[in-house]
Structure 1
Amino acid sequence: MSSDTAATNPTSLAPKARRTTREARAEELRNKILAAAAQVVGQHGYADASIGRITEAAGIAQGTFYLYFESRQALFDVLLPHVGAGLLAYVRKKVHGAHSFLEVEERGFRAFFEFLRTNPGFVRVLNEAEVAAPVAHAAHMKLLTEHYVQSLQRSVESGEIREFEGKELEALAYVFQSARSYLYLRYVKGSEKTKKLPDWVVETYMKLVRNGLK
């Protein structure tokens, strides 16, 4: 068939269009199952996140679940990296346009806690994964840490960070990530008055970062 014929015959493009539509729908349904799983695990934990509960939350038949995941564990093994990618995308959007490492760090720090406010089940999905879905936990931590180290490395190359380099950057990434976790436990989850991280805590954290990275 010539290119002219193809251009004037829309049915010649139909198979590709159907495949594209089918693939898009499949991806949409898979994401729907993952979103439902995050919701159920966030509320009930991995142990009580049955396929029945997940499919009910997703609004699909249990048989449909097995078209996308061979087992509940297979779903759990990709759940945290999937939700974690959403966190990274959210933070990346918030730090876009920042002009210095300190600005990136403060924006990213605030964005992390903003994400938790709108995704309160994320912490449980993360914390229980170390036991219930170790493959997912390892993949998530690797992704998060690599992202953080890359940001630190750019700041070393620009001269903003002068006292740390090489393998020390990974250690720094874990220090900063750990701070987020424990500050969440104390000032967000453990607070009876607010679910928002107090500004003075952000300022204290940034004071430590600013003085520690001189």
Structure 2
Amino acid sequence: MQIASEGKTPKTKRGIKTKAKLLEAAEIEFGSRGFHECMIADITRRAGVAMGTFYIYYESKEEIFRELVSHMGRLTRSYIAQKISGIESRLEAEKQGLKAYIEFARENKNLYRIVMESQFVALDAFKEYYHVFANAYETNLNSSVEKGQIRAGNNEIRAWSLIGLSTYLGLRFGIWDEQMPAQEVTDAAFDFIENGLKP
């Protein structure tokens, strides 16, 4: 799998600030208009920098798009980790993590749309985004089995199932319509996670 390129690393504080402005502008442009409708000129105009400045940090529109996919992954994992920090119970961590994910989606709609679009623009970056999540998830589930917090089972499939559930709940109740309180969505989904469909 090709690793998503993340542009050139700035060497100065000014460079770091300029690259951050480009990323922020690209997030808004890609998130609101989509990859194919957005041009590099749109990004640089919104960032308030010259067109040539873009090429100091990125070789192409696709490269900055890929960086945003990776950026979304890091932000999401960091946000959820903070929300579940100190929770010992795996089931409670799942519940609070799901609520945090829905809240994060609501606060980061543009990045969410970029990740969803990446499956059609940069499939390897899209796959990498979810594989990183799934690998960490599986490790945590394995640890919880060893601690006796959850029963043994195929934790790779469990990880992907939980990711799928979170992804589409985030899409439905975070991006398309956020009228239902995140806690209400979480409670209903977690009842399903914890109890399944058995009568």
**TM bin (shorter chain):** 0.7 to 0.9
Report runs of 4+ in structure 1 exceeding 6 Å deviation: none
Cα distance change, pair 119–145 in 1 and its aligned pair in 2 (3 A):
same
Q: Contact 1:130/1:137 (CA < 8 Å) preserved in 2?
A: yes
Q: State the TM-score, normalizing by the size of structure 2.
A: 0.84
Aligned counterpart for 2:75 among listed residues 59, 83, 86: 86
Structure 1 portions without partners, runs of 5+: 1-20
The equivalences for 1:123-134 within 5 A come to 123-134=112-123
Q: State the TM-score, normalizing by the size of structure 1.
A: 0.79
CA distance in 1, matches of 2:179, 2:175: 7
1:172 is matched with which residue?
Answer: 158
Select the structure of larger CA radius of gyration.
1
Aligned length: 187
Cα distance change, pair 64–175 in 1 and its aligned pair in 2 (3 A):
same
Cα distance change, pair 186–75 in 1 and its aligned pair in 2 (3 A):
closer
CA distance in 1, matches of 2:45, 2:191: 47
The 3-state SS of whatever aligns with 2:31 is: helix
The 3-state SS of whatever aligns with 1:88 is: helix
Aligned counterpart for 1:75 among listed residues 52, 64, 68: 64
1:101-130 deviations in whole A, cap 9, x for unaligned? Answer: 011111111111111121111221011100
Letter in 2 for 1:134: L
1:149 is matched with which residue?
Answer: 138
The CA RMSD over aligned residues, in Å, is: 2.0
1:110 matches 2:75: no
Cα distance change, pair 75–189 in 1 and its aligned pair in 2 (3 A):
closer
Q: Which moved more, 1:77-86 or 1:31-40?
A: 31-40
